[in-house]
Structures are given as structure tokens and as C-alpha cells.
Structure 1
Amino acid sequence: MKKRLILSILGLFLVSCSEYQKAFKSEDTEVKKEVAKKMYDKQKYSKAIRLYEIIAPVYKGKSGEEEMSYSFGMSYYNTKQYYLAAYQLEGFASSYPKDPRAEEAFFLSAKCFAELSPTYSLDQTETDKAIFKMQEFIDRYPNSTYMAQANAIAKDLRVKLERKAFEVAKQYNTIGDHKAAQVAFDIFLSDFPGTVFKEEALFLKLDSAFQLAINSVPSKMQERLNNAKGAYQSLVKFKGDSKFKSKADVMLEQIDKELQQFSKS
């Protein structure tokens, strides 16, 4: 029985391969289309793609293009060829907006761009594009069943942009360029007022202001100390029980101590 089952499976496999090879070599585009659909239904997406790539231009604007266009795009998506999938699925959704699968196709197209978004440390051009595409989907289908997923993906993408900008500002603090760090944190907080990194950004801005002040020449020290004190106040105003408060309090104590010499003079 076991041997018969193996032979049966092998026979089906050989028939499937033979059918595919014949279709691939055939000049008949209808045969190619039928076998491509069979390959798609069997989740043999790579084989389906090879056939679709040949016949897609032939069916442009003709009967059968709608079904083929969707299957073609989903084949790319299921093989994680996200650039091609995004293009094909967006094209399907735009060409056939009344098709019941258009909403899904448009969402998956936007999701493809999110999949192409690199880690935060790299150039974020693709992330900007992904946010734009996902927002476009949200605007087009405000009542979509995919809305929760779309919002979650968009949020993750925005956090990635926030982290990129935050790490750039943080790097200035790390290398000791405290004047540039303050400017970078000001820009960061202005661009991303609701950022998840706000507490740490406010503390690092304080740290940069503090380091710049206590290492200043006398003629600039008072102004910079007052600036650092303002940075402290911004931190505790934002979060009075900040996890950085004990370190911030130590800085404030030294700031006030240094400022006393100016009040005496």
C-alpha cells in the first residue's frame, strides 16, 4: 500500500511537470493561461509566474485579463517578490476598482512597500513611500476590514522614521558635539511631538545643554547654564516621575551651584 501511494504521488508529479513543460513550450496562449491557473491553484507560484510573464502582454485589455492580473500579483506576493507584487496588485486594484478583491489587492500592495522598508539605520526613502501608500489605502477604504492592520503597519513605519531621526541626534550627544545635539533634538521634537522617544530625547537634550554649559568659557557660561535649566524644566514638565529624574536632579544641583557665582558677582 505504501509503495502504491508513493507511485501514485510520483505519477501525479510527473503528469503535472509534463503538463507544465508542454504548456511552457506551447504557442497556444490559452493553454498557457489554463495551466498557469492550475499552477496557481496548486500554490506552485513560481511556475505560474513564468507562464504569466509570457502571456500577460497578450491579454492586455482582453477578456480574462482581470482574473489573470490578480493571480499574477498574488503569485509575486506569495513568493515574496515585493517590488513586482506591489506594482501588479496596485495595477489590478486601479484597473478593476469594482472587483471584490480590489480592496485586498490595494492593501497587499501597500503592505509590499512596508515589507521593502529597511532597518532604521539605513536610508528611509522606501519607508516614506510605504507610509504614503498605506495612508492612501486608509483614505480610500476607511471602513476596510484591513483597517486595524493598516494602522498598525503605518504606526510601525512612523516609529522607524522617529528612531532614525532620534539616533542621529543621539549620535551628536555621544561624540560630544553638544551644540549640534541640542539643535538636532529641537528639530526631532518639533518634527515628532508625540514620539515614543520623547522622554529620552528631552533628557539627552538636557545632558547636552549641561555638558556644553559647564565646559563653557566664562563669558558664555551663565546663558548656557540657564538654557540647561530650561531643558531640565522641560523634562520634568513632560514627565515628573521620569526614569531619568535622579540623573537630571544631580545636573540641576550643579547648575544651580554654578549659577550662584554669577548672582554674587
Structure 2
Amino acid sequence: MKISSYIVLFVTCCSLYGCGEFYKLEKSTNWDELYEAANKYYDKGDHNKAIILYDRVLPVIRGSGKAELAEFNYAYAHFRTKRYIESAGYFKTFFDTYNRSPLAEEALFMHAYALYLDSPDYNLDQRSSKDAVNAIQLFMNRFPESDSYERALSMIDDLQKRFEEKAFQESKMYYKLTEGLFPGEFYRACIINFQNFAKSFPDSKYNEELAFKLVEVSSAYAERSVFDKKEERLKQSLEFGDGFSKKYPNSNYLKKVDNIIAKTKTELDSYYQLKNQYEQRSAEARRLLEEEERNKEASEALRSVEN
């Protein structure tokens, strides 16, 4: 028990001494001492204390020979404490300031890596992920021979998968909304969204599913369209169906697509019949109107002769 008590007392005294020592450093104006202490705390892994001391000494030593290492450590200290956005900014500032430094390549990579680590899951806003992609591409363009190049590629690939998943979930949301009371605008939104997805992610595993849904949605949209728009949209749906059959000849969706195509063709034939009937009735109405006009003119001419 006595030994344990002595140990606790010793540790407490050391802690108090350490706190007292750090407190004095915070108040010190001995910049050499502060610089050495900041580096010491950084090397020991006490990054929070290192940051506090670097905050004091960096404005004074900036531009001197000591500043380069201090600023590099300062950026890393923020990274080690998981302040990724701050560290990304400090690494970029370091690179811009010391782009000929032996540490410049690592600084630019860490700028990108910090942004990558800060990027959110696919179901959240991906604007910061796009910033990370831009930073990674900047690194790859600047240092194409870097040992970290392959690692940067894998980071890009991971972020692209997040973008893909985010876009797919948005597509599913639009598709779900077509089941509501007012699906018209959502049909059109689905068609545009599905086409944009295929352009943005041509190798996606989701393309076959969305291509099927494109046929399905376009057919439903055409079927519910006003008469003046019906022919154009029915033909577009048939184009989507034909494109699907050619691109995915062995798809599990193929039978459903064939059924939709057959239904759409029947709908188009019915449209043409109605259109033909309408044109015939219109032509007959025009003929009767013209005949009435001729009879009227003849009657008026006859009355003129009689008078």
C-alpha cells in the first residue's frame, strides 16, 4: 500500500511539474526556447501542446531557417489530432510557400489525404469529397512519379464509388416518387437522371437496373402523356427498349422489357388509329366547311343577279 501511494504521489508531482513547466513556456518570450520546446512536444507525440507553442512562435520565426520544419510539424500536429480540414489548409500553405522543399511532395499528398479523410459517407453532401478529388488530382499531376501515386489512385477510386452510390440512391428516390399521386414531373426527372447516371458512371454495376427502369418509366410517362406529346414519347420509349435489348441481351430483365415494348407498340398503334380518325374527321369538317362557303358564295351571287 505504501509503495502504491508513493507511486501515485510521484506521478502526481511529475504531472504538476510538467503542467508548471508548460505554463511557464506559454508565458515565455524566449523564442528559441519556445521553438525547441514545441519540437520536443511534437516529437513526444503531445501534439496539442506542440500546437499551442507553435501558435506562439511561428509568427516570430516565419521567414527564418527554422520556420520550414516548424510549419511542417504544425500541419502534422493538426493532422495527428484529427483536425483534418485545418491540417489540409496548413499542408497546402506549406507547399505553396516551400514548393522546392524536400518535404513539398509529402505536404501536397497530406493536403489531399486530409481532405480525403474528412470526406463524408455517400449518403451525405459530397461537396467536400469533390474538393478532395481535386486535391488528389493536383498531387497526381504534380508528382506523377511519386511513391504515393498508387495510393492516390485508390483514394480517387474510393471517392468515385461514393459519388456513384450517392447518385444511385438519388435515382431510386426519383423512381419512388413516380408511385405518388402526381408522377408526371417525376417521370421526366427519372428519365433525365437515369441517362445522366449512365454518362457519369459508364462502368457502374447499377447501369443495367437503371436502364430497365428507364424503359419502364418512359413507357409509363408516354402512356400518360397528352395527345400532342404521346407519339414522340412512345417512340422514345421504344428506342430505350431497343437499346436495352442490344446492350443486355442476356439480362434477367429482358422478358419484362420485351413485354413493355409489346405494350408500347400496341399503344402506338392505337395512337395512330386515333390520329387517323381525327385527321379524317378534321378533313371531313374542312370539306363541309368549304362546301358551305361555296354554297354561300353561290347564293349571294344568285341574289345579285336577281336584283
TM-score by length of 2: 0.75
Match of 1:182 among 191, 200, 208: 191
Matches of 2:134 and 2:243 in 1, distance apart?
A: 32
Residue 202 (structure 1) aligned to one of 211, 235, 238: 211
2:202 alignment partner, one of 193, 197, 209: 193
* 1:26-41 pair list within 5 angstroms: 26-41=28-43
Matching residue's letter, 2:138: E
1:114 counterpart residue number: 116
- What amino acid is the match of 1:128? K
Check the 8 A contact 1:202/1:235 in 2, yes or no: yes
Task: Give distance in 2, aligned partners of 1:243 and 1:140.
Answer: 46
For residues 163-219 of structure 1, the C-alpha deviation after alignment (integer angstroms, 9 at most, x for no partner) is: 444444443332122122212323333344344432233222222102112334455
Please state if 1:227 is matched with 2:236: yes
Q: Which residue of 2 aligns with 1:139?
A: 141
Give the whole-Å Cα distance in 1 for the aligned partners of 2:254 and 2:172. Answer: 18
Give the direction of change, closer, same or farther, for the CA distance of 1:120–1:45 in structure 2 (3 Å limit). Answer: same
Percentage identity across aligned positions? 29
Q: Summarize the alignment of residues 132-171 of structure 1 with structure 2, pairs less than 5 Å apart.
A: 132-171=134-173
- SS of alignment partner, residue 59 of structure 2: coil
> 1:65, 1:243 → 2: CA distance?
64
Cα distance in 2 for residues equivalent to 1:111 and 1:239: 39
The change in CA–CA distance for 1:93 and 1:215 in structure 2 (over 3 A counts) is: same
Shift of 1:121: 4.2
Q: Quick one: distance in 2 between partners of 1:150 and 1:173?
A: 35
Q: Partner of 2:182 in structure 1?
A: none
CA contact (8 A) 1:33 1:55 kept: yes
Structure 2 residues without counterparts, runs of 5 or longer: 179-185, 277-307
**1 or 2 for the larger relative contact order (CA 8 Å, sep ≥6)?**
1
- Greater CA drift, 235-244 or 49-58: 235-244
Residue among 79, 86, 95 paired with 2:81:
79
1:69 corresponds, among 68, 71, 96, to 71
Moved more, 218-227 or 106-115: 218-227
SS at match of 1:133: helix
User: Residues of 2 paired with 1:196 and 1:138: CA distance?
Assistant: 27
Counterparts of 1:16 and 1:240, CA distance in 2: 73
Write the distance in 2 (CA, Å) between the matches of 1:2 and 1:98.
Answer: 56
For 2:53, the equivalent position in structure 1 comes to 51
Q: Output the TM-score relative to the length of structure 1.
A: 0.85
Larger Rg: 2
Answer with 72-81 or 98-107: which moved more.
98-107
- Separation in structure 2 between the aligned mates of residue 204 and residue 118 of structure 1, nearest angstrom: 29
How far did 1:40 drift?
0.9
Aligned length: 265
1:92 matched to which residue of 2? 94
**Equivalent-residue separation in structure 2 for 1:28 and 1:147 (angstroms):** 42
Once the two structures are superposed, what CA deviation does each residue of 1:39-76 show, in whole Å capped at 9, x if it has no partner?
Answer: 11111111111111111111110121111111100000
Give the CA RMSD over aligned residues.
2.8
Map Cα deviations across residues 133-172 of structure 1 (whole Å, 9 max, x no partner): 1100011111212112211111222333344444444433
Question: In terms of mean alpha carbon deviation, does 75-84 or 147-156 score higher?
Answer: 147-156
Question: For residue 24 of structure 1, what is the amino acid of its counterpart?
Answer: E
